Structures are given as C-alpha cells and as structure tokens.
Structure 1
C-alpha cells in the first residue's frame, strides 16, 4: 500500500477558506462558485458542510449546532455554482432551527434541517470507550486519497489495510486537519460534517455482500454533535452496518477523541442496488 509520508501535506487553512467562501445574496441566501473538485458529482459531505456553514452565518455567535438531518435529492455537479437558501425556522431562548436548501440550475439537490443550542450546565455521562486500536502515530497514510472527490485537507491514518486495489477507506481510521485551524466552533462542526460522509456508503453494505453494485449513493444523513471538538486534533472515526433490506442499508458511526471521548454520532441510509448478472 502506498504511503504518502514523504509528500507535503496540503494547506488545510486555504482549503477550508475556499470551501466556505460563501458569497451573500439578497436575504439569507448564498452562492458558492465552482471549486474544480470532484469527478462526476460533488462529494456529499462537502454540500452538507457548506449548507451547515450557511446556517451558521444566520445564527448569533455562541450558539453552536448540536444536530443536523439531511436528504440528498439529486447529484451535485462540480462544475456548477451552488446556491444555498436558509430559512430561519425558529429562534428561541436556548435553541434555533434552520432549514437549508442547496440547489443548482434552479433545482434542489440537498435539504437540511439543523438545530443550534446554547451551552447549558448538566450531567456529563461518558459511554464506554471505543475498542482499543493503535494510536495514529506510526500508522500509514492511504495512497488512495489521490482518488477522492474532494480537497485533500486531512491527514488520515489507517488502522486496517484496505482490500487490494480498492478505493474505499476501511473503518475505523484516524483523521485530523493537516494544519491548525481557527478557534471557531462552527468551523470545526462544519468540517466534522464534511468528514462524516467519508466511506460511509461502503460501510452500509451487509457483511459478506458483493462489493460490485449497480448503484451506491447516500439517501439521508444525520449528525449529532455531543461535545465540542476540534477537527485539527486526532479523531477516531468508526462506522458499522446496522441493517440491510431491499436496496437500502443503514450505517451508524461515531467520532472519538484520542482520549476516548465520544464527540459525535453519525447515521446514514444508503441506496445499494445490486449489479444485474450478465446475460
């Protein structure tokens, strides 16, 4: 497996600034110019992260996101501008709700509802620590990152080797931004949203099922931000299949700090259409 240890790591600050370069329009609307990343379609995590960023820009500072729920409606085209329309659904004493529609060519491609919560005192119960895995230092970086459809702003270390000549990253893996980022909780939540879509569709397959599929795409995606976390510090991302029925599969994931603290939970339903046998 190729190791990128000798390669220069990408500039995470510049990549994040480019990704979140939202140009305001009239009202709570924003547009993002084509960034040149992607192959046949936009990376879903990028659209989700940009949509959450647009919602954050309509929220008073100090009220971070605590959850989001989203549906992928149409594939996004990397060569077209992306418009983000934010609806201020509610602003309460402790919570705010935003509805974001991402569209291209006048057609919606993505819908998100995000909720924001003022920090409050309360119980802090930690669940059991994740399974013991080797720490990130000394683990290899995956050479397959060159094939990914989004900016290479992350340092990734593999706990398990991927199957030969296979692109999907095997869970669990360690991940962090390749450079120290600003102390903006909203920015870190948006980048956690971005990485939360990495290799989840492939992890939603039933164990032992064929890897070759006629279609494998995300249908809906949810993230819960349990505790403040920095994406420029090591996070262990683990995703496992929950159930498969018909052409749909559900995967559930978690993000832990290097100290074993659970900071986010992820759930995603994927469309997994089996390949039709030849002849």
Structure 2
C-alpha cells in the first residue's frame, strides 16, 4: 500500500471521527427551532460554513458544502487513482448543480454552484450551458451521456443512474450501495412518476440491476427480479408510495456499513470509502435534523428519518 493511500486513510478516519453521529442528530432534531439547532452545531466541523446563513435552505446547503470540502481535502491527500475513485462518490454534487440550473429555468433564484475542483466530471461545460438544450448537449458530449431529452426528470435521472453505474464499476467496496441506489432511483422513476427511462439511463440501470429488472411489468415483479446486491434496498417496502422509507433505510445502511469498514479495514482504499460513507450519511442526518428543528423540533420521540 503506497504512502499516499496510508496518509489518505488516516486523514479520512480523522475527518469521520468528528461527525455529529446518530445520537447527535437526534439531539439536534429535538431543538426548539432552527436557531437553537445551529447553535448546537457550533462545536462541529459544520459550523464554519454555517456562519452567516439565513433559513433552512442555506443552512442545509452549508452542511452539504462541508461534506464536499472534506471530499476535496481527501482528494488532496490521495494518490491519483484515489482521486479517480472519489469522483463517482462526489457525483451527487454535480447532479445538484444541474438541478439548480433547472430551478433557474422555472424562475427561482439560482443557487451558487458547488465547486468540485478535481472531483468534477463535466462542471465547466455544464456551467457554460445557458438553456436546457445546451445542458443536454454538454452532458451528451461528456461521460455522463445523452439523457434523451431536455426535461429535468430525464436529465437528473440519467445522471443519478450513470453515477450509480460508475460507482459500482470503479469502487468495488461501494457496489452494494450503488446497486441499492440504482434500484431506488429506477423504482421511483417507473412506479411513482410513471416515466420511462431514456436509453442512457436504461443502459446504466441494466448494467447494475440486470435487464430482467428493467423488463418487469410492475413494482412487485421489479423487486423479485433485482439481484441480491440491490434487492436489500426495497425488501421491506411493499408499495411504491412507501419508497421514502427505503431512502431512509439506504442512508442508515450507508452509515452503518461505512463505520464497519473503517473499523476493520487497513489504511487502504476500503478505509477511505468507509469514511466517505460515514461523512455522507452524517451530512444527510444533519440536514434532516435541521428540517425537523425548523418545524419546531421533535417533541414526541424522534422522527422516523432519524431513528
């Protein structure tokens, strides 16, 4: 194992050791309001970017920016193949940038783009695109692939499934998470939104889930056709309307698996992947807790999303 991987794994474990954690997220959710919740984050790594934020949306974005900064810090410690490994794990930020462009098209103020640095896939080309047609062209000319049309649903679904395929291929330690994510995205698109997958999205999904799952006639058939690496994500969800519960379960599994990997792996790529999973799940839990606090906090137990 190279010194770069050892140094990166040590740094990754150090970053993950400062997470708020499950119990911290539960306490955060019990805050009486958003301001109290933000004060409780004063001693955490999220605090620096939370200074000066106003409202839930800005606070949640600052939490996500902290995660991205941690990933960029890791990229600076890792060897070149480690940066390539991190890139698909950070793809959600590039997808979020594109989602923000669509909100602009609908008349909303554009959020500041996440700066991915070395973790970007096609950020520069996407930043120059001024309309949905140009966004599609920029994606088609990159490794993201042509989403098939210019609608937000097709573009974002294609990016999410492509990211899952890339992760499953480039990050073996994260393949189970990627397969579960692909199952959730596909199920939501087909059985909640009732939309067909475009060709690029379908190819990406089939590469992870298998062609049989993509040919299923209904949700139950889809679940049965999934490979075991993906089926776990929807095993306990009997109807598409309850897929939000599967989403919650996916994030909890990500954090739990990541902690296990950190504790058992050597100073190598597996330890880094485990730390990234822990950091990502912590970001999700803190964002969810802030949303609960903004609504007055959890007075009767703790919301299901944070259990």
Pairwise same-fold verdict (TM > 0.5)? no
TM-score (norm 1): 0.30
Q: Which has the higher contact order (CA 8 A, sep 6+)?
A: 2
More strand by share: 1
More helix by share: 2
